Amino acid sequence: MDAESKSGNCDAWAATGPDGVLSPHKINRRAVRSDDVSLRITHCGVCYADVIWTQNKHGDSIYPLVPGHEIVGQVTEVGSEIKGLNVGDHVGVGIYVNSCGDCESCNSFTEIHCPKMVVTFNGIDADGTVTMGGYSSYIVVRERFCFKIPDGYPLAKAGPLLCAGITVYTPMIRHNMNQAGKSLGLIGLGGLGHMAVKFGKAFGLKVTVFSTSESKRAEAIDLLGADNFVISSDKQQMEALKGSLHFIIDTAAGNHPFDPYLSLLKAGGIMTLVGFPSEINVHPGSLIFGARTLSGSGGGGTKGIQEMLNFCAENKIYPEVEVIRMDYINEALKRLVNRDVKYRFVIDIENSLN
């Protein structure tokens, strides 16, 4: 390690350039302030965002870069003003760690839409420092952005809820898709998609999974409990479902047609985009005829995150994860790019970070 990578009070793994290769690094965490919580990180989920920013795919990466925004750990120190958390509590930190606290979004606990929202890694915090994520031994965050993980919930499975889970949970709640008997369509069956199926079944919905791969059928039906599986390229199967769905969640990242899916919605139906294709092409008639809506959603607010964590604990909803050691992360990121994971990597930080 060079001189910079040897200095600091916190062990981490960082990318130092756009090749995205991670290696051991030392970083500095701030001292605990009056409204701060310090937590020893036990686990951290691996999100595709970790690939994007370690490899500078958006052109705004700040190196050295420590990724990770599905953070789980145990409280080790609390500031003088902290009332809701205690040393020893199991907690999580998601995709952002700060906001202005006083705008319309913050006052309605939808802080993710705050213009001054600060992401958990590769962001510029209010004090001008660059945020460093959960591929590290501990982190210090404001209490507002630290969430209580209910007693008994397995920490190795909690991390993905803080990004993948809340990303699909939020639009389902916003559009009243927690009402039993409604019909949900899901495009894509990765880290986000598999959580949407689990939430859908817990809400009592009829869930249809759309995929381009027949190999996903058994996973969708037998493992996750979906009611129906459709090959999206099969025009006959698609035609049979026209006008049958209340809601569709689109998790697909690659470019794909939208009109065939919009035609599956009932009158007044809604399709929400949570993936990131490079473009969206929609015929106006797909929306106008049938009064359909195409919306977008990402992440969620602090109130919703805590509600989701409680809901998962009460209903025994657990992400499907593959637990890895920290020194396997470079291979894991390659596998993630190749979609070779079912369905979320989680790093066992406490037993493998050195």
Over 80: is that where the pLDDT of 285 sits? yes
d(CA 227, CA 235): 19
225: left (phi over 0), alpha (psi -120 to 50) or beta: left
Over 50: is that where the pLDDT of 40 sits? yes
Is residue 302 within 8 Å of residue 117, measured between CB atoms?
no
* Between 354 and 14, residue with greater pLDDT: 14
> What is the per-residue pLDDT for 8?
86
pLDDT in tens, 189-225: 989 999 999 999 999 999 999 998 898 899 999 999 9
> What is the per-residue pLDDT for 354?
66
Q: What percent of the chain has pLDDT over 70?
A: 98
pLDDT in tens, 291-327: 999 999 999 999 999 999 999 999 999 999 999 999 9
In order of start, what are the domains of the chain with their CATH numbers? 3-162+301-307+319-348 (3.90.180.10), 165-296 (3.40.50.720)
Structure tokens at 141: 């965050």
Q: Does pTM surpass 0.75?
A: yes
d(CA 241, CA 231): 12
Over 80: is that where the pLDDT of 16 sits? yes
Average pLDDT, the chain: 95
Is residue 151 within 8 Å of residue 158, measured between CB atoms?
no
pLDDT in tens, 107-166: 999 999 999 999 999 999 999 999 999 999 999 999 999 999 999 999 999 999 999 999
Over 90: is that where the pLDDT of 186 sits? yes
Is residue 268 within 8 Å of residue 289, measured between CB atoms?
no
